[in-house]
Chains A and B, each alone.
Chain A
Amino acid sequence: MSRKAPARQMRRRVREEIYRWVFASLAFASLAALIGITAVLFKEGIPFFREVSLKEFFLGTGWYPTHEEAPEFGALPLILASVWVTAGAVLVSVPLGVGTALFLSELCPPRLRSFLKPTVEILAGIPSVIFGFFAIAFIAPVFQKLFNLPTGLCALTASLTLGIMATPTVCSIAEDAVSFVPGNLREAALALGANKWQTLVRVVIPAAGSGIITGIILGTSRAIGETMVVLMAAGGAAVIPRSFTVPVRPITSTIAAEMGETVVGSTHFHALFALGLILFLITFLFNILAEVVSRRFRMQLGGDL
């Protein structure tokens, strides 16, 4: 026994060391992927700006990347379309997501909650191409009739669909934040004579505020990067959007539609990478913002406890 013990201990230590390395390398694999993707985006995107000026790219309004004599690489309509469609999606997903979260954690009877919460989670798991089909087959014809539009494929259809898609993201993060609000805060409010509504609006929402905002930011970042739905439902006209009922062409659908048939190494090819770079920087910014806000939120609650 006494002779065997150190050997066994030794073996255990070695095994633990192996596990540590295996999991560490797995964790670093995603870091490697991130670095690789960033490097490729910059490597293929930067050469574009040697051929086309920043001014033409960001302020130009014509997107004719394959025209033989006078190609134009004005990305302004595409960038604005992404912003426009995402803004619309936020208008849908924030009330839906935050409302659902508040209802689920504060007002919902437990039986109903055990049904509603899985429903929201299933919504998160539906593939985006199915959302796209739903938009084309159902939402677009309804809007076409309702607003008497020439076509139902427009910013509004895309926004509504993206909004519904982003709702589970907003909802689950916001719900976590609300459920983390310590019970003693609520009890204190109620003890002071506040009713349920006052407690919710004056105490719970402010306390969970940064968590809710984190959810909204991540939901927005999900909406702006979504490709399939906008490719199928946004219409695809590269014009600066002036209303919600016009067809638009966001960055993501432009890349998806054109990458397959462009000549590798051409200006057009690099232009699509430059578009990808813009998209990447936007979502990167959003993620950092979400991280900063959620850190603040954690610290605040820590102080209260």
Chain B
Amino acid sequence: MRRYAVLAATAVLVLAAFLARAKENIVIEGSTTVFPIAQKTAEEYMKKNPDVSISVRGGGSGVGIASLIDGAVQIGASSRYIKTGEIARAQSKGVNPKGTIVAMDGLAVIVNPANSVSGLTRAQVKDIYTGKVSDWKQVGGTPGKITVVSRDTSSGTYEAFGELVLQKQKVRPDALLQASNQAVAELVAKTPTAIGYVGLGYISARVKALAIDGVIPSAETVLANKYPVSRPLFMYTNGAPTGAVKAYLDFVLSPAGQKLVAEIGFVPLK
């Protein structure tokens, strides 16, 4: 009997302790591209600040911004600028979306080091991926059928490539779809006729990163907005961030947060 009393008392105490430290809740929703950044930084942030609880959901940029406008979330993650229509809808609801760039997303188009081609235009890359161009000789290389390597259609990398290069057209069906950036780099390194695309973090001596529209992909050219296959990634808030949301965003932008950004394969802002 006494044991139960002790148990009950402990339970009450624990519960009270929980209630006393009511957690600060932040909900982030939106872009699947930004998702890993939000997820990783939130995990680290919660380790250091156990009184803050951050939950991260995917759904896409449009969903994230819509939820922010509806007041359902504190942060809407987006891999594109907010659209004018969305701004109008936000204003009609008294919401003032403000974007904070948390990282840059840059994709390198890579070929085998044995390939004589060292640069392509964005239009040429698009033609290769949509199937208009199938032979290296059509883009100034040594004649040979191009082996097109792409990412799985549900990955954020594919989504970014589809938007920045393919402009919503479909990838040729005979493209080899690989499950990770690493697998794409590996396949291109082993295949003399291959072309692929990976996050900037996956460029190595075993593959050759092509200059696109004459610009070599690097953290510098991406940050200077010169490299075309790149885009900023946003976290939108209602007005300038305040309180717990500001503290979290400050962490994301801090050197520790940006280090996580680089680890996941995105371009850090500094």
Interface residues of A (CB under 8 A from B): 61-70, 77, 136, 140-141, 144, 150-153, 231-232, 235-239, 246-247, 249, 256-258, 260-263, 268
Chain B: which residue is nearest A66 at the CB level?
Answer: B153
Which label, helix, strand, loop or mixed, suits the secondary structure of the A interface?
A: loop
The answer to whether A151 touches B191 (Cβ under 8 A) is yes
Given contacts A67-B170, A263-B58, contact A141 B147 (CB under 8 A): no
**A66-B153, A66-B159, A141-B190 as given contacts; A151 in contact with B170, CB under 8 Å:** no
Residues 122-162 (chain B) with a chain A CB within 8 angstroms: 144-145, 147, 152-156, 158-159
Please name all residues of chain B whose beta carbon is closer than 8 Å to the beta carbon of A68 when the two chains form the complex.
168
Q: Does B194 contact A (CB under 8 A)?
A: yes
Contact A153 B153 (CB under 8 A): no
- B170 close to A236 (CB less than 8 A): no
Closest residue of chain A to B175, judged by CB?
Answer: A237
| Contact between A238 and B177, CB atoms less than 8 A apart | yes
| 8 Å CB contact of B147 from A151, A263, A268 | A151
Task: Please determine whether A261 and B173 come into contact, CB atoms closer than 8 angstroms.
Answer: no
| B153–A65 touching, CB < 8 Å | yes
Determine the residue in chain A with the shortest Cβ distance to B58.
A263
Q: Which residues of B, 164-178, contact A by the 8 Å Cβ criterion?
A: 168, 170-171, 173-178
Residues in B whose Cβ lies below 8 Å from that of A69: 168
Q: Which residue of A151, A231, A258, A262 is within 8 Å of B187 (Cβ)?
A: A151
**Distance A152 CA – B183 CA, assembled complex (angstroms):** 14
Chain B residue, CB-CB nearest to A65: B153
Beta-carbon nearest neighbor of B178 in chain A: A236
Ranked 7 nearest A-B pairs via Cβ:
A236-B177, A261-B154, A150-B147, A66-B153, A257-B179, A257-B152, A258-B154
CB distance from A250 to the nearest CB of B (A): 12
Taking CB atoms, residues of chain A closer than 8 Å to B192 are 150
Please give the distance in Å from B111's CB to the nearest CB on chain A. Answer: 13
Chain B: which residue is nearest A246 at the CB level? B174
Closest partner residue, chain B, to A68 (CB atom): B168
Q: List 21 A-B contacts (CB under 8 A).
A: A61-B173, A65-B153, A65-B154, A67-B153, A67-B168, A68-B168, A77-B173, A144-B191, A150-B147, A150-B194, A153-B187, A236-B179, A238-B173, A239-B174, A247-B174, A256-B179, A257-B177, A261-B154, A261-B155, A262-B154, A263-B59
Contacts of B155 in A (CB 8 A): 261
Contact A150 B145 (CB under 8 A): yes
Instruction: Tell yes or no: B193 within 8 A of A by CB.
Output: yes
* B168 contacts across to A, CB distance below 8 A: 67-69
- Give every chain A residue within 8 A of B237 (Cβ-Cβ): none
At the interface, yes or no: B32 with Cβ under 8 Å from chain A?
yes
Contacts of B158 in A (CB 8 A): 66
Contact of A236 among B59, B176, B186, B190 (CB under 8 A): B176
> Inside 8 A of A232's CB, which chain B residues have their CB?
183
Residues of chain A with a CB closer than 8 A to B144's CB? 150
Q: Which residues of A contact B152 (CB under 8 A)?
A: 236, 257-258, 261
Distance between Cα atoms of A69 and B162 in the complex (Å): 12
Q: How far is the CB of A245 from chain B (nearest CB, A)?
A: 12
* Interface-central residue, A68, A231, A257, by most chain B CB under 10 Å: A257
Contacts of B58 in A (CB 8 A): 263
Docked Cα-Cα span, A61 to B174, in Å, equals 11
In the assembled complex, the Cα of A247 lies from the Cα of B179 at a distance in Å of 14
Q: Given known contacts A61-B173, A144-B190, A257-B179, what 14 new A-B pairs fall within 8 Å (CB)?
A: A62-B170, A64-B170, A66-B158, A66-B159, A136-B186, A150-B147, A151-B187, A236-B176, A237-B173, A237-B176, A237-B177, A247-B174, A249-B177, A261-B156
Q: How far apart are the CA atoms of A70 and B170 in the complex, in Å?
A: 9
Whose C-beta in chain A lies nearest to the C-beta of B191? A151
Distance (Å) between the CB of A113 and the closest chain B CB? 40
In the complex, chain A residues whose CB is within 8 Å of the CB of B156: 261
Minimum CB–CB distance for A139 against chain B, Å: 13
Closest B residue, CB atoms, query A67: B170
User: How far, in Å, is B177 (CB) from chain A's closest CB?
Assistant: 4
Quick check: A258 and B191 within 8 Å, CB to CB? no
Query: Which A residues are in CB contact (< 8 Å) with B177?
Result: 236-238, 249, 257
Contacts of A66 in B (CB 8 A): 153-154, 158-159
B194 to A, closest residue via Cβ: A151
* Beta-carbon contacts under 8 Å, B195-229 to A: none
Q: Shortest beta-carbon distance, A138 to chain B, in Å?
A: 12
Q: In the assembled complex, which residues on chain B have CB atoms less than 8 Å from the CB atom of A247?
A: 174, 176
> Which residues of A sit under 8 angstroms from B190, Cβ to Cβ?
140-141, 144, 151-152
In the bound complex, residues from chain A placing their C-beta under 8 Å from that of B178 are 236
- Chain B residue nearest to A236 in the complex (CB): B177
Question: In whole angstroms, what is the CA distance A247 to B177 when docked?
Answer: 10
A136 nearest CB neighbor, chain B only? B186
A234 to chain B: closest residue by CB:
B176
